[in-house]
């Protein structure tokens, strides 16, 4: 079976990141039709259009990874009611140089994760706003806001309750359909 290649982006650089733990859980729960790979964003030099004359190798490699993907999964914390700078930088790097937007047309999905009760809603929707501009059709439903996330994992990073596991599994099943539908639509 041909699998869809999904690039996974995590908006936190912390070793013990709850978002990274969630991303790993999502990857483990994904259906067979998806092949998922974490793409690191922490080493990307800050976007500066002056550098486009000789783009940093990290930008080139990152853009190539986006272009090679069939779909995009974003798992993000909320910083000050928005997307962490490191993830916004990655979006900006991938969107340029002008006319060569690597994100263009790739189906995506957004999950926000927070130890708080508002569950990263602000970051989730700020990210969706940027995705509209870079032409990533982001899955509308189901939405995924994981709140109180510190209680969701044990010390080894495993999910502690079945209802979250079931929800994340159904989220990934819906995402697989979203990728399939959008890919076929574009090919038609």
Rounded Cα distance, 75 and 12, in Å: 9
Cβ 153 to ligand FNR shortest distance, Å: 10
Q: Phi first, then psi: give them for residue 22, nearest 5 degrees.
A: -65, -40
Rounded Cα distance, 152 and 161, in Å: 7
Burial 165-183 (b: 16+ CB within 10 A, else e): beebbebbbebbebbbebb
Closer CB to ligand FNR, residue 8 or residue 18? Answer: 18
Rounded Cα distance, 111 and 127, in Å: 10
Closer CB to ligand FNR, residue 137 or residue 157? Answer: 157
Binding mask 104-143 for ligand FNR (x = CB under 6 A): ----------xxx-x-x-----------------------
| Interface positions, 12-41, toward ligand FNR (CB under 6 A) | 12, 14, 17-19
Q: Which of 58, 79, 164, 174 binds ligand FNR (CB under 6 A)?
A: 79
Q: Which of 43, 45, 68, 81 binds ligand FNR (CB under 6 A)?
A: 81
Q: Applying CB under 6 A, which part among 1-9, 75-83, 129-137, 174-182 lies near ligand FNR?
A: 75-83
Closer CB to ligand FNR, residue 55 or residue 147? Answer: 147
For 83, the token pair is: 């997307």
Rounded Cα distance, 120 and 108, in Å: 18
Closer CB to ligand FNR, residue 143 or residue 173? Answer: 143
Cβ 61 to ligand FNR shortest distance, Å: 23
Rounded Cα distance, 165 and 4, in Å: 22
Residue 63 region, left (φ>0) first, then alpha (ψ -120 to 50), else beta?
alpha
Give the interface with ligand FNR as residue ranges (CB under 6 A): 12, 14, 17-19, 77-81, 114-116, 118, 120
């Amino acid at each position: 079976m041909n699998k869809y290649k999904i690039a996974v982006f995590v908006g936190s650089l912390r070793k013990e990141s709850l978002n990274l733990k969630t991303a790993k859980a999502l990857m483990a729960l994904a259906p067979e039709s998806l092949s998922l790979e974490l793409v690191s964003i922490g080493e990307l030099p800050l976007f500066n259009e002056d550098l486009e004359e000789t783009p940093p190798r990290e930008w080139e490699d990152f853009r190539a990874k986006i272009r090679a993907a069939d779909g995009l999964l974003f798992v993000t914390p909320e910083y000050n009611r928005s997307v962490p700078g490191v993830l916004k930088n990655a979006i900006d790097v991938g969107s340029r140089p002008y006319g060569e937007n690597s994100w263009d047309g790739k189906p995506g999905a957004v999950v926000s994760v927070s130890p708080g009760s508002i569950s990263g809603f602000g970051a989730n929707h700020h990210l969706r706003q940027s995705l509209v501009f870079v032409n990533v059709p982001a899955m509308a439903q189901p939405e995924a806001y994981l709140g109180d996330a510190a209680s969701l994992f044990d010390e080894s990073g495993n999910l502690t309750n079945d209802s979250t596991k079931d929800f994340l599994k159904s989220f990934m099943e819906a995402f697989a359909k979203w990728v399939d539908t959008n890919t076929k639509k574009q090919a038609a």
